[in-house]
Amino acid sequence: MNITLSIPNEIVENAREYAKRHNTSLNQLVREHLMKYSQEDEHRKIVEEAVAFFQQIAPTLPKGAKISRDEMERM
C-alpha cells in the first residue's frame, strides 16, 4: 500500500541520515516503526497477563523460592 505523509523536511533529512548510518532505508524505518506501534497493545496484553499470573501464584510460593524457565513454561 502506498500512503502520503506530511513530514517536515528537517525530520525527513535527519531520518535519512540515520537510515544511511544504519544501512537501511527511510522506507524500512517507517515500516519497522509502524509494525512496532501496531503490535504495542498485543505485547502489553501479554505482559499484563504474565504479571497477573505471577501476582496470583506469588502468595503460594515459599519465601525466596526460585522458578526455573522450564517450570514457568509448564505453568
- Whose grid coordinates read 537510515? 19
Grid look-up 524500512 returns 28
**Domain positions in the chain:** 9-60
pLDDT digits (tens, 9 = 90+) for 10-69: 999 999 999 999 999 999 999 998 888 888 888 888 888 888 887 787 777 777 777 777
Contact present, 57 and 75 (Cβ < 8 Å): yes
- pTM, entire model: 0.53
pLDDT at 75: 60
Residue 25's pLDDT is what? 94
What pLDDT is stored for residue 55 in this prediction?
Answer: 78
* Cα 17 to the center of its chain, rounded Å: 24
